[in-house]
Amino acid sequence: MSFSRINASAATSTRTRTESSPCSGMCVVCLDGCPGTCEIAMSALRGREMLYPQPFGQVTAGSAKEYPIDFSHFSIQGSCVGAEGMEADSDKAIFPNVDLSLEIGAKEKIKLKVPFFTGALGSTEIARVHWENMAIGAAICGTIIVIGENVCAMDPRSEIKNGRVVRSPEMKRRVGIFKDWDEGYGEVVVQMNVEDTRLKVAEYAIEKLGVRAVELKWGQGAKDIGGEVKLPSLKKALQLNDRGYLVFPNPEDPEVQKEFKEGVFGEFERHSRLGMVDEEEFYRKVEELREVGAKYVTLKTGAYRPRDLARAVKFASNARIDLLTVDGAGGGTGMSPWRMMNEWGIPTVYLECLLYNY
Ligand code: SF4
């Protein structure tokens, strides 16, 4: 039995003509003359466009792979004997008295009203558009919200001087919305990838916007590569190329510019680099962030193999950071290759078992 559904998915708007072979995903009878509605045929025609869930900028996506064990295999077990978190008294152990609050953090504590927080919302359009609702919701719930990677650099109104961000209206807006609704619980956290670190985004967020929590990012559950977005304009592609990102095809190339203007292709791609994790460098970076003024330092790790999870636990413990986020496979707010989202990383239940044992 195959756990994966291949060659046809709502994520890529593809389907097969007949029932499909579990091995290849192709129709059991692939017909000469079929217009080619499946992922393989569409890939042959549309190329890398078919790598990503569609339409880009308007969707979030989640893996369709059915692992043998998932959260539906667990049920919550109550008891009629005693009470947890309150007195075992029939008049006190009542619904309105349920308290889910907790504190997280190594030294200084972040108080949460609820035992969950949001995934990071970065520079994708869908994250930008829905930030206000999410940030207000997080503040009212009393939880953490994370501003994902690349927000300053993707902000067309950002000012960058001598290689560092000195102004970003979009970052200011995101931090400001949470703070306006802040009721003393939760926190707004700013995430850092390779490019954010180079642009000194943490320094800007801490010194100019009063941010207290910074997250170092090793990766995400949706993929093992850096963040990506599509860029529908040459101007934006040139701007991000100038800001140090990997932009494909090269927007500086006159031939590429000519082809874009003639409509040969309609979008550039912006890719972020992957950080190269090093133990000593990690400890140095955590200290550096604390010296700049970060009250809380957190780490998010991604769809890597078990020994990298062990590394994350060890480094996080040694550096006494405030929170380690372990992101299970596979979904995301934007541009992650669809097959990678399905076939990469450790499924969440298995990942949590490993984490518990470490
Ligand atoms: S090309 Fe057509 S017949 Fe062949 S696998 Fe794809 S959908 Fe099926």
Q: Model ipTM?
A: 0.99
Q: Is residue 299 within 8 Å of residue 315, measured between CB atoms?
A: yes
CA 186/CA 103 separation, integer angstroms:
9
Question: Which residue among 9, 26, 46 is best mutated to probe the pocket of ligand 1, counting the most ligand atoms within 8 A of its Cβ?
Answer: 26
Lowest average pLDDT, out of 57-61, 151-155, 208-212, 308-312, goes to 57-61
The amino acid sitting at 354 is L
- Residue pointed to by tokens 């997080």: 138
- Tokens representing residue 274 in the block: 């992957």
pLDDT tens digits for 131-147? 999 999 999 999 999 99
Per-residue pLDDT of 144-187, as tens digits, reads: 999 999 999 999 999 999 999 999 999 999 999 999 999 999 99
Instruction: Ligand 1, residue 31: give the atom nearest the CA.
Output: 3
d(CA 349, CA 339): 20
Q: Residues 6 or more apart from 214 whose CB is under 8 A from it?
A: 189, 190, 191, 192, 202, 205, 206, 289, 294, 296, 297, 298
Q: What is the DSSP string of 103-122?
A: EE-SSSPEEESSS--PPEE-
Whether 303 contacts 346, CB under 8 Å:
yes
- Across 274-297, average pLDDT: 95
Nearest to 189 by CA among 98, 257, 273, 105: 105
- Closest ligand 1 atom to residue 26 Cα is 5
Residue 249: pLDDT band with limits 50, 70, 90? very high
Render the burial of 156-171: b for 16+ CB within 10 Å, e for the rest: eebebeeeebeebebb
Cross-strand partners of 301: 326
DSSP 31-95: PTT----SHHHHHHHHGGGGGS-SSTTS--EE-----SS-GGG------SSS-SSS-S-TTTSSG
pLDDT, mean of residues 231-240? 92
3-state secondary structure 283-312: HHHHHHHHHHCCCEEEEEECCCCHHHHHHH
Strands 187-192 and 213-217: parallel
Mutate to test the pocket of ligand 1, among 5, 37, 43, 46 (most ligand atoms within 8 A of CB): 37
Mean pLDDT within 188-199 = 94
> How many whole angstroms from 9 Cα to the centroid of ligand 1?
13
- Element spanning 167, H or E: strand 164-167
Binned at pLDDT 50, 70 and 90, residue 74 comes out as very high
Lowest mean pLDDT among 15-24, 202-211, 218-227, 319-328: 218-227
pLDDT bin (cut points 50, 70, 90) of residue 334 is low
Q: What is the rounded end-to-end Cα distance, in angstroms, of the chain?
A: 31
* Average pLDDT for the chain: 92
Q: Which residues line ligand 1 (CB under 6 A)?
A: 16-17, 26-27, 30-31, 34, 36-38, 40-41
Q: Is the CB of residue 116 less than 8 Å from the CB of residue 144?
A: no
Q: Which residue has the least CA distance to atom 8 on ligand 1?
A: 27
Q: Which domains does the chain have, with CATH numbers?
A: 10-51 (no CATH), 101-227+272-357 (3.20.20.70)
Q: What is the pLDDT of residue 234?
A: 95
Kindly tell me if the per-residue pLDDT of 26 is higher than 90.
yes
